Structure 1
Amino acid sequence: MVKERELPLIALRAFAVAARSDSLSAAAEELGVTHGAVSKQVRLLEDWLGQQVFTREGRGVALTPYGRVLAEQLSQSFRDIEAACHYVRRRRSKAVLAVEAPSTFAMYFLMPRLKRFEQANPDLAVWISTRMTGQTPDVSSHDLLITRGSSERIGGHSKASTALFEETLTPVCSLDLIQNSPITTPADLLAFPLITSATRPGHWEAWLQKAGLRDHVFEGGHRFDHMFVAMHAVREGFGSVVAPKEFFPGQPEWRLTCPFPDLVVKGEKYFAHPTSRADSRYLRRFIDWLKDEIKTAA
């Protein structure tokens, strides 16, 4: 693989301009250099490639088949670079805070609330990346890492961590699922499939024991690999799942309900870990907002 520092970038730019110009002289005029300078860069590029990119036709030039392929790819690449530069220039007055969070937390807690934060903080954009259970946190690419449970793999790469909240777990189900069969006691939930996720084992067992239903044998439910997939199944009316009730208040469009919001068991704790690249001005603002949102959801 060719490393970026080995690419003849000046020669590639000269070639890209020449490829869409009528002649090397026209390319030289656009670049503000001499005809000889453009011709030299084209020769350097051909030597580096080991292929001709132009054929000489009198005083003009024509692209070879290889030259045509390279010109098309470079044209698209330079358009992408230009678009990225315009995007960054447009956002010079807006800082970016890069946040990595567990997938379910990002999808069911952060994303539905994020617009409120950005409306209150027009000078700050939040970019969210998701992390699956068991995946190592990406310290180098983010300003803030949110973790559920142990954060041993972050090690000494973060600054002082902030405790956010401890999950309170309770059954969640779709209003459509129970519209014809009201749930009045914990035992009524057993009439519907009990959904579980591989990344959160033991939740139903713990809650059923807390509810006094110690002898239930699991059968006929649905098991998914991740919690956010299980939650989607709940929204589709497949059954109920034990999940953090902090994720669901204030989202009526989801048509979800926690039939026993006060009958809960404790789950994992969440922490916010600033990284060494974070700007403390923006970081503090986001973490304070996040803690306020958690209090509201509790």
Structure 2
Amino acid sequence: MKLRDLPLVSLRTFAVVADSGSVTAAAQTLGVTHSAVSKQVKLLERWLGQALFILEGRRLVLTPFGDILSRKLGIALEDIAGACAYVQRQRERRTITVEAPATFAMYWLLPRVSVFRALEPQTDVWVSTRMTGQSPNFAGHDLVVMRGETAPATTRLNERVFLFREDMTVLSSPRLLAGKPLANPADITSHQLIESVTRPQDWQAWLKLANVNHAIVAGGHRFDHLFVAIQAVRDGLGSSVVPRNLFQMAIANHELACPFPHLNFQGEPYFAYFAGSNIDPAMKRFKEWLVREARSQDSGLTGSAAVLEHKKHRRSTTAKREPAKQRP
């Protein structure tokens, strides 16, 4: 089937009707009459040779063929809308939109975005957060960060770049450690053990690694998300097993402390998904910067140190691009 043969108006109309579940609601969304919407749906059904809707009482319901078309068409239209939004953002000031897991965005990405903005003042970075269990919005963003090995099926953001793997260990607050110091791993039983519903096995894994009998450990706080749990740790309510590399800045600022840095295990990896082309120089620089930040964290290059490192990299890159000046 050729693209020129596709009845695009009818397909768009069908997608809106399928999404709203009502011809009347679709007509209001599209700004046309009820009869115009019905006509486009009928034209599409005649072109396909299949019924797409049936009436159950007064309710409009998708047929099995209509359901298949609706799902596939929805993905395609989201990709088209995302591509159009991407092109529109190139008009003047460059804006890069990023979606990331909430804890990653709050504690790792957002504290570093100001560093990038200082280096690239003509580029804005807008960050959206995603809760555990929510589907990533690949259509509406230039870059999506995901946790885990599973690579989703996406057509637009088709380049996957590894950032880093979680370094799981115990974090506490300096205030709590001052009152209840941890001389050896077994002393953790004097702390309330804080965990999140989204990471239910982390304490068991660390206690097993530390050879601490977790059968004698009872009590603690359990929160629905890691960013809530880490706030409780910062408030001195207890200790938690978390990805240390997400909280490097908080550790450097003495808001959190790592009592057993060598008792650690690997957690999940983080990957960034980009569009596969490098037609946008600002996006290319942001991608290079993000990967550099992720790879440099083990050497402690954050904040102003990261700025200096980035400037040094830019100078060396520029020097390589520019031809050597001829001496008179």
User: TM class, shorter-chain normalised?
Assistant: 0.5 to 0.7
Identify the residue that residue 99 of structure 2 maps to in structure 1: 100
In structure 2, runs of 5+ residues without a counterpart are 1-24, 34-87, 299-328
Question: Do the aligned partners of 1:109 and 1:247 also contact (CA within 8 Å) in 2?
Answer: yes
Equivalent position of 1:177 in the other structure: 176
1:138 corresponds in structure 2 to: 137
Structure 2 partner of 1:262 = 262
Cα RMSD of the aligned pairs, angstroms, is: 2.5
Decide whether aligned partners of structure 1 residues 104 and 205 sit closer, same or farther in structure 2, where only a CA change above 3 A counts.
Answer: same
**1:96-130, Cα deviation, whole Å (9 max, x unpaired):** 11000000000010111110111011121110000
Give the C-alpha shift of residue 217 in structure 1: 4.2
Query: In 2 relative to 1, CA 152–249 (structure 1 residues): closer, same or farther, beyond 3 Å?
Result: closer
1:22-171 alignment to 2 at 5 Å?
93-171=92-170
Cα distance between partner residues in 2 of 1:276 and 1:137: 18
Q: In structure 2, the residue corresponding to 1:283 is in which secondary structure?
A: helix
Q: Is the 8 A contact 1:139 1:154 kept in 2?
A: no
CA distance in 1, matches of 2:217, 2:95: 46
Give the aligned residue type for 1:121. Answer: E
The 3 A distance-change label for structure 1 pair 177 and 123 is same
SS of equivalent residue, structure 2 residue 248? coil
The 8 Å contact of residues 94 and 122 in structure 1, kept in 2 or not, is answered as: no
Aligned partners of 1:169 and 1:241: how far apart in 2? 10
Q: Partners in 1 of 2:278 and 2:191 — Cα distance?
A: 46
Partner of 2:248: 249
1:110 is paired with a residue whose SS is helix
- The alignment of Structure 1 onto Structure 2 pairs a total of residues equal to 217
Aligned identity (percent) is 40
> Could you say which residue in structure 2 is the equivalent of 1:196?
195
Match of 1:285 in 2: 285
Kindly tell me: are residues 179 and 164 of structure 1, through their superposed partners in 2, closer, same or farther at Cα, counting changes over 3 Å? Answer: same
1:166-192 deviations in whole A, cap 9, x for unaligned?
A: 111000111111112222211122210
Q: Which amino acid aligns with 2:162?
A: A
SS for the counterpart of 2:134 is: coil
Question: How has the CA–CA distance of structure 1 residues 151 and 95 changed in structure 2, closer, same or farther, with 3 Å as cutoff?
Answer: farther
Q: 1:194 to 1:108 in 2, by over 3 A?
A: same
CA 1:189–1:272 in 2, change beyond 3 Å: closer, same or farther? same
Which one has the largest radius of gyration?
1
Question: Do 2:204 and 2:214's aligned partners in 1 also have CA atoms closer than 8 Å?
Answer: no
Describe the superposition over 1:132-178 as per-residue Cα deviations: whole angstroms up to 9, x where unpaired: 11110001110101000044444444212001111110001111111
C-alpha change, 1:193 and 1:137, in structure 2 (3 Å) is same
The 8 Å contact of residues 138 and 154 in structure 2, kept in 1 or not, is answered as: no
1:231 is displaced (CA, Å) by 0.8
Distance in 1, matches of 2:293 and 2:187, equals 32
The C-alpha deviation readout for 1:24-80, integer Å capped at 9, x for no partner, is xxxxxxxxxxxxxxxxxxxxxxxxxxxxxxxxxxxxxxxxxxxxxxxxxxxxxxxxx
For the residue of structure 2 that corresponds to 1:108, the secondary structure is helix
- Give the TM-score, by structure 1 length: 0.66
Any conservation in 2 of the 1:158–1:275 contact (CA below 8 Å)? Answer: yes
Q: CA deviation at 1:249?
A: 2.1
Change (3 A) 1:92 1:283: closer
Calculate the TM-score normalised by the size of structure 2: 0.61
Q: Which amino acid aligns with 2:233?
A: V
